[in-house]
Amino acid sequence: GAVVSQHPSWVICKSGTSVKIECRSLDFQATTMFWYRQFPKQSLMLMATSNEGSKATYEQGVEKDKFLINHASLTLSTLTVTSAHPEDSSFYICSARDYLAGGNYEQYFGPGTRLTVT
């Protein structure tokens, strides 16, 4: 399957600081990428859909000014958690959609970033 990388894999930051997470599709071009968050023992929660060259679409309840998403190229999307607080501590996972011949697609996930805000 296709490969999606994510950096950093884990980060610890102080409350009030900002953290940037990068997501790259390594062997395919991804016009659409997704950002998810997962709390322990819970399922993935979609935060936003990121489309190359346009503004991200945020899910209900997700603050767009707090979670800044940039998708400036076909292989890179970034998520910046601004003014992070302890309740933002979570596992953040990006995903990229690889379109296949015939109109189908498969979606691959990055390895995730574990954010801890102290």
Partner 1 sequence: RKEVEQDPGPFNVPEGATVAFNCTYSNSASQSFFWYRQDCRKEPKLLMSVYSSGNEDGRFTAQLNRASQYISLLIRDSKLSDSATYLCVAFSGGYNKLIFGAGTRLAVHP
Sites of contact with partner 1 (CB under 8 A): 1, 32, 34, 42-44, 46, 49, 91, 93, 104-112, 114
Shortest Å, Cβ 11 to partner 1: 15
CB-nearer residue toward partner 1: 9 or 29: 9
Distant-in-sequence, close-in-space partners of 44: CB < 8 Å, separation ≥ 6: 36, 37, 38, 93
Q: Which is nearer to partner 1, 20 or 109 (CB)?
A: 109
Q: Kindly state the smallest distance separating residue 34's Cβ from partner 1, in Å.
A: 7
Q: Which two tokens stand for residue 19?
A: 């953290």
Q: State which residue, 9 or 73, has the beta carbon closest to partner 1.
A: 9
Distances (CA, A) of 99 to 7, 49, 51, 71, 108: 24, 16, 14, 17, 11
Minimum distance from CB of 104 to partner 1 (Å)? Answer: 6
Shortest distance, CB of residue 8 to partner 1, whole angstroms? 14
